[in-house]
Each structure stands twice: as C-alpha cells, then as structure tokens.
A and B are shown apart, each in its own frame.
Chain A
Amino acid sequence: MLEVTSIEKGIVIDHIKAGFGIQLFNYLKLDNAEYNVALIINAFSKKQGRKDIIKINNEIDIDYNFLGLLDPNITINVIENGKIKEKVKLKVPTRVVNVIKCKNPRCITSVESYCDHVFHLVDEEKRTYRCEYCDDIVTPHINR
C-alpha cells in the first residue's frame, strides 16, 4: 500500500476523474512548485470507483471558477493544522472571462487582442458555453 502522509496546511483537490489529475496538475503549473505536492492517480473511491487526488502542502490561490468549469464534481478541502478547515463545493460558473479562448476565426476576438474572451453558460448539464461576441458554442470541460 502506497502511503502519502497528510498535510499540515494547504489544499486537497479530491474526486478528480481518474486519468485527469495530470491535466489539472499541469493547468495549475504545479510542476514548478517549490513546496510539497502529491499527485495520486487511481486512488480507490466509494463514489467513483477510481479517482485522482492532488495534495498541495501550501496555501495557494486557486480559481474555483476555473476548476468548476473543468469539472464541477471536484471537491476542494482547505487544510489547516492538519484538519479540514473548509470544504468547497464547486459550481459550474455562469460567466467566465479569459479562461476559454474563442476559436471562431470570424470572431472579433481573433483580431483585436485587447478584447476579453467572455463566455456565458448555456446548458449546465452539457456544460456548454456561448461566446459573448460571436455566439459560438463550445464545451470546455474535461469529459466525464
């Protein structure tokens, strides 16, 4: 049995769909971290069967909107003094700015670089988003 010790102060990102932990690890640029980080792949889960977990032994700012966009089933545990101080339930954000890029070559955002890339939630179940400017529909989440 592989053992990863608990952390004193930091964040545990739990219930990541098995296989997607590495993507999230890369999104959060944790390969450059100067503190302890554990990426656990294929951990046993009662709910999911298998899941990935990321344990970060440091306080870092995480954009919950961004994580909710990727996968609202992820849970975040904020740890202090070795105990869970707060459990954060993610939501699918209704509006995201500069997280997804519009890929429509006819969209104004493709030529005017100062424009924010703004997307609005269209369908929570399908997790589809609409570009504020050209109305193009995209599905930016990690597929479950």
Chain B
Amino acid sequence: MLKGRCLIDPADFTREEFRELFDLAHQIVANPEKYSKSCEGKILATLFYEPSTRTRFSFEAAMLRLGGKVIGFSEPNSSSVAKGESVADTIRTIECYADIAVMRHPKEGAPRVASQYLTTMPLINAGDGGHQHPTQTLTDILTIERLKGSVENKTYGFCGDLKFGRTVHSLIKFLSNYEGVKFILISPEELRVPEYIREEVIRKKGIPFEEVQQIEPYMNQLDFLYMTRVQRERFFNEEDYIRLKDRFILDMEKMKYAREDTYILHPLPRVNEISIEVDKDPRAQYFAQAKNGMYVRMALILKLLGIY
C-alpha cells in the first residue's frame, strides 16, 4: 500500500510496490485519457530549491494531465526560503495547503529531513544534491521495461560522473535488487561511484561489476549505456571541472562498437557528452525516456494519493 507514503530513496519501496507502480504506469502509457480526471480537486506543491526543466515540468504536466492543480516555486529566492526559513518549517506550511509535494534541494538529505516533519502528506524527492534522484530511476526503469521487457539479466554501463551523478546512484540501488544484472562503471578515477554505493550496495549484494576508464572495449557487452553529464555545479573547484568534463564523449565512432540492441539512455540535460549526430540513431532513447518520465510520475502521484 503506497497511499500516504514518501519516496525519498529507492530503498523506501519494496520490489512488489515498485511492480504495482510500473504496472499502473504501463496502463497509463496505453490509455492516458482514462486518467485525465483522476486528480480533480487535488493540489501538487513543487518546491524547487535548485533549477530544473524536465523534472519540474514533468511533475507539473503529470498533475495537470491527471486533472489536478499545481502550486510552488521554481527558485528559492521567490519564497520565504530567501528570508532564511528552514526546510522543516517550509514543508509544515506547505502541508497545510497541498495534498502532495515534490522537493528538489541542493543539499543531500534535505527531503529526508522534510519527510520527518510531515504528518500525512506524501513527499517525493526530485533530486537532493549529488545524492539520490528516485523518480529519474522510475523514468529509467519504465524506459528499460518498454524497450526490453524487464530489467533482469542485463548488463548496464554507466559512464561519466558517477561520483556526483545522483541518477546513477538511485538507478544502481534499484537495479541491485534484481537477478542477473551486471554493471560496467566507466569514469575517470576522480569521479568513481561513492564508497557507500560500491561497498554497501553493489558488493554487499554480490553484483558482478567492473570499474574501467574506457568505453570502446566494453560497448558490445552492454544492453544499456547510461551516459551522464559532468555537473559543473557539484564542483568546488572550476579547474577540476574543466579537466574532467570532456573525458567521455559518445559519438558515432564509438557507437560502431555497440550492438544493434544496445540502447543509449541519459537523464538529460546533455551538454556535450553525447554528440548530436547520435540523436538520429534508433538506439538513442533519451528523449523517449523524458516522455516516460511524465507517465511514471502520473502513476506515482496516483499511488501516493491512494487513488489507484
């Protein structure tokens, strides 16, 4: 039962609860019209302490397509946060007005803190610093299931900034609960996955993995290649960012090493880590992924509000 629950970390839901959610998402993809009035009279609050295009718009579009309404802020300077209000006070105030809320915050763990001050309103983590981004994972999983039927028995390549890439952390955490998965982690030494992901998630669950620094030799092993952007905003030192940002660029030359059924995913926004020429390749699925994000967020809102 997901009614009234918060989604802060992929570990907050069981495999069965995720199955329920994805089953509903597939039904929404097949017949979105059926759900167009499901959230009439309900309000979603979007609290974005950090800029966002896809995540905020997809949540707002999801609620509007369900017949609900949206309130919120897209940058903290336009709210009481600018006056120094704490996350705990903001969320308790929002609970007085909205039925469900979404929070993005630059500090890691902010949505977890907020969730501890709530009484009944469900809260969704829409990205906290370089930590977790569970609804991007929902987007990724719906895309994987639509392309290949299931997430099990597949090899996943993750490439780019695996240290601060919160979408990578959430997706690895999720996939680690499934049989037959294997990870190829491609990154510069400085941007390897954090220790808690490598030791407490991957190694603890006995998932086979390799940490490497080249894409080409591994391309033909992959079912999915998950590219990520080196994020300028996560670096305290601009020099490090400049040194690392162009380390991995996926172009058609590298795509020659990939199988016909290797799909390219990316949480977006992209800077230059995937050449524009790759967009035309049918294996590039990142824009389809963005659309799936809206459908799966519709399913999440319906589940957390207990409507389906």
Contact = CB atoms under 8 A, between A and B. Distances in A.
Interface of A: 104-112, 114-115, 122, 130-137
A136 B107 CA distance: 13
Contact of A133 (B88, B113, B130): B113
Contacts of A133: 108-110, 112-113
A107 B107 contact: yes
B195 to A, nearest CB: 5
B107 A111 contact: yes
Contacts of A135: 108, 131, 194, 196
A132 B112 contact: yes
9 contacts: A108-B107, A108-B108, A111-B107, A112-B110, A131-B109, A133-B110, A135-B131, A135-B196, A137-B196
Given A108-B112, A135-B196, 17 more contacts: A107-B107, A107-B109, A108-B107, A108-B113, A112-B86, A112-B87, A112-B88, A112-B107, A114-B86, A114-B88, A115-B113, A130-B196, A130-B200, A132-B109, A132-B112, A137-B195, A137-B196
A137 B236 CA distance: 20
Contact of B108 (A104, A114, A130, A137): A104
A110 B129 CA distance: 13
A109 B200 contact: no
B196 A108 contact: no
A104 B110 CA distance: 13
Contacts of B192: none
Interface in B64-123: 86-88, 105-110, 112-113
Contact of B130 (A106, A112, A122, A131): A106
Contacts of A106: 106-108, 129-131
Q: Interface on chain B toward A: helix, strand, loop, or mixed SS?
A: mixed
A108 B109 contact: yes
Nearest to A136: B196
A136 B109 CA distance: 11
Contacts of B130: 106
Contacts of B236: 105
Contacts of B199: 137
Nearest to A105: B236
Interface residues of chain A: helix, strand, loop or mixed (majority): loop
A105 B199 CA distance: 22
Name the residue among B109, B110, B199 with the largest chain A CB count within 10 angstroms. B109
Nearest to B109: A133
Nearest to B164: A106
B150 to A, nearest CB: 28
A98 to B, nearest CB: 15
Contact of A112 (B106, B113, B128): B113
A107 B195 contact: no
A107 B200 CA distance: 19
A122 B200 contact: yes
B195 A108 contact: no
Contacts of A131: 109
B107 A110 contact: yes
B4 to A, nearest CB: 21
A114 B106 CA distance: 18
Interface in B172-220: 194-196, 199-200
Interface string B231-264: 0000010000000000000000000000000000
A112 B88 CA distance: 9
Nearest to A113: B86
A49 to B, nearest CB: 32
A90 B195 CA distance: 28
